[in-house]
Amino acid sequence: MRAQTLTQAVIGHEGLVRKAGLVLGGSLFIALAAQVSVPFFPVPLTLQTLAILVVGLTFGSRLGAAALLAYLAEGAMGLPVFANGMNGAALVGPTAGFLYGFVGMAWLAGLAVERGLARGVVSTAICGVAISALLYVPGLAWPAAVMGKTMPELWTYWMSPFLLGDAVKAVLAAMVVWGGWKALSARG
């Protein structure tokens, strides 16, 4: 039987220690990517979504979501894992909707792989772009509900400046994951 995810094919998912290692490693990878930040207002442009897509696409739905839950828990415990070294305060700040949406983003990316929707670089990129677009639902709902932001404000400051970058990051994630599969098949 062919492994569904890249990590299954390379190191397997058997055993609690291996799964815990993947979850902690994935959360660390995302935390590091969050620190690569270009200042924007009110939401910084980071490599978080690229890392989240890579984690979801390589770990699968359950381990990908678990890595994001660990990431959120690390921030809630006060570790500076969020963009610009932020911690638990970000979980109630203006970007909280995006942070919570990251769990669903990783889960959906993993689900796309498990269901066979993301098998080639093009189909993986298309899935990544669609999943990135879905992140705007919780990401924009939070400031709309909590901060009273209007749709024109959300479009101007919270969405439109990031669309092209999110599409590029989705394509890069697809290329990274597809490159991993190609390297694995060339090795074996």
Domains of the chain from N-terminus onward: 6-183 (1.10.1760.20)
Cβ neighbors of 98 (< 8 A, separation 6 or more) are: 43, 135, 138, 139, 142
Mean pLDDT over 164-181 rounds to: 96
Give Cβ neighbours of residue 166 (< 8 Å, ≥ 6 apart): 49, 129, 132, 133, 135
Residues 6 or more apart from 145 whose CB is under 8 A from it? none
User: Chain-wide mean pLDDT for the chain?
Assistant: 93
Cα 10 from Cα 188, distance rounded (Å): 11
| Average pLDDT value for residue range 61-84 | 97
pLDDT bin (cut points 50, 70, 90) of residue 188 is low
Q: Answer whether residue 79 shows pLDDT above 70.
A: yes
* pLDDT value, residue 116: 94
- Kindly report whether the global pTM for this prediction surpasses the value 0.85: yes
In the chain, the percentage of residues whose pLDDT exceeds 90 is 82
Q: pLDDT digit string (tens) for 91-145? A: 999 889 999 999 999 999 999 999 999 989 999 999 999 999 999 999 999 999 9
**What pLDDT is recorded for position 42?**
64
47 HSE (CA, 13 A, CB side):
13
